[in-house]
Structure 1
């Protein structure tokens, strides 16, 4: 295979993987035993990018369009101590939403609600 064909195939695979992570319906199977399920309810008009924070380092979880719900799985590697911290940043404006510290166990579902005023956002573990 020529180098150009291989590069085109790699680019196609990467774009497919990136788009699958952004699809709110792609995470409908949330029973990943190695992590926790995350349901992000975005009540804000702005699209947001959601991050899990571990030791001060952010790991991108995905994005959720405004006024919609996204479903994701957060890897157990991001929650080794059982503490999950989430941040959401709007794509087209300033501010941020934070969950605060949420204590979780593998297999649980965390619901992160982003309010219309970002500062009023909260998360719960079930």
Structure 2
């Protein structure tokens, strides 16, 4: 019967050190989804805007016959805004309006019924007329 061969301690240590250095490089990093990230402070509604357009877009909330500016999302980026629940009015209905800076193009959502605790994801496409919205 053949004798088992032992591996020298130096080689075993080097192999283990190499494995410990290389293993983290194989780890897959994944961005958390927006559904796990968005949490509005009390009394506010979260609005996440993803802008696939190359132009900056000014975002407004249309409510009760008024237009209230929420903020600006730069081209090819995402931004989370928070606006007060009072903008929902008694009917809890709003529309979102996006005005592209330096262009006559705009995006407008249909009427959205929002309840406190929900959040909105609005995706602005390169052709703003093809934008989409979701309420969660």
TM bucket, shorter chain = 0.7 to 0.9
Q: Do residues 103 (structure 1) and 118 (structure 2) align?
A: no
User: What TM-score, normalized to structure 1?
Assistant: 0.73
Structure 1's unaligned 5+ residue stretches are: 1-27
Aligned partners of 1:107 and 1:92: how far apart in 2?
35
Is the contact between residue 111 and residue 124 of structure 1 (CA under 8 Å) also seen in structure 2?
yes
Q: Runs of at least 4 residues of structure 1 off by over 4 A? A: none
1:79 is matched with which residue? 88
Is the contact between residue 100 and residue 122 of structure 1 (CA under 8 Å) also seen in structure 2?
no
For residue 29 of structure 1, report the CA deviation from its aligned partner.
7.0
Give the structure with the larger strand fraction. 1
User: What TM-score, normalized to structure 2?
Assistant: 0.68
For residue 75 of structure 1, report the CA deviation from its aligned partner.
0.9
Structure 2's unaligned 5+ residue stretches are: 1-36
2:70 is matched with which residue? 61
Aligned partners of 1:68 and 1:76: how far apart in 2?
25
Number of equivalent positions? 99
Matches within 5 A, 1:7-18: none
What is the CA RMSD across the aligned residues, in angstroms? 1.5
Is the contact between residue 30 and residue 73 of structure 1 (CA under 8 Å) also seen in structure 2?
no
